[in-house]
């Protein structure tokens, strides 16, 4: 079932880049291979709005691109702005395991964020920087939210 909010993204189409704002919630990481050997850092933005202030997505996950990374380690509540392009994608389980239903549906996301800017910072001190390599960033993220990851049975991505 497609969210009414994401229909705003659908209306924009993928031909042009638009300016968006969103509220930083947290970092995460995702694995890029089936064996779960290679992880990349991600971040979650909430209440993503277009340049007119219309909410286009309740939440969106992004890869931690150089633009986001350059802002330093963000705090929950920081407000960011960026340019991006709308893209349709298929979400849901796409595997072939017996007993697991495929519930595929079309949805919309914002990709290729550029001109990332910190619009409002909730803290007065400068943001700490991420370490250089992706594996180090993923471990930094794990350590930041370690209690939550352990509760959910998620292991540190790189030992």
The pLDDT assigned to 61 comes to: 97
Domain limits for position 14: 6-151
Structure tokens at 68: 């986001």
- Is 159 inside a domain boundary? no
- Is 89 inside a domain boundary? yes
pTM over 0.75: yes
The Cα angle at residue 11 between residues 6 and 12, in degrees rounded to 5: 100
- Is 95 inside a domain boundary? yes
What residues contact residue 137 under an 8 Å CB cut-off, 6+ apart? 41, 64, 69, 130, 131
Q: Specify the higher pLDDT residue, 1 or 23.
A: 23
Distance in angstroms (rounded) separating the CA atoms of residues 34 and 84: 28
Q: Is the pLDDT of residue 1 over 60?
A: no
- Is 156 inside a domain boundary? no
Provide the domain count of the chain: 1
Give the residue among 119, 14, 138, 5 at the shortest CA–CA distance from 60: 5
Q: pLDDT, tens digit, for every residue of 30-87?
A: 999 989 999 999 999 999 999 999 999 999 999 999 999 999 999 999 999 999 999 9
Structure tokens at 6: 């994401």
The pLDDT assigned to 127 comes to: 92
Q: pLDDT, tens digit, for every residue of 76-105?
A: 999 999 999 999 998 888 877 888 887 888
Average pLDDT over residues 9-32: 94
Give residue 2's pLDDT band: very low, low, confident or very high (50, 70, 90): very low
């Amino acid at each position: 079932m497609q969210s009414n909010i994401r229909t705003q993204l659908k209306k924009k189409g993928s031909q042009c880049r638009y300016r968006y704002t969103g509220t930083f919630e947290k970092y995460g990481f995702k694995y890029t291979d089936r064996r779960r050997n290679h992880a990349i850092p991600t971040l979650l933005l909430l209440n993503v709005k277009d340049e007119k202030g219309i909410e286009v997505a309740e939440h969106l996950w992004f890869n931690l691109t150089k633009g986001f990374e350059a802002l330093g380690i963000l705090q929950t509540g920081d407000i960011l702005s960026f340019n991006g392009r709308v893209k349709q994608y298929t979400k849901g389980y796409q595997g072939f395991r017996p007993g697991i239903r495929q519930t595929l549906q079309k949805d919309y996301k914002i990709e290729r964020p550029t001109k990332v800017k910190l619009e409002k910072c909730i803290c007065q001190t400068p943001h700490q920087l991420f370490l250089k390599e992706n594996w180090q960033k993923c471990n930094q993220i794990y350590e930041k939210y370690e209690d939550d990851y352990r509760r959910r049975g998620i292991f540190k991505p790189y030992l």
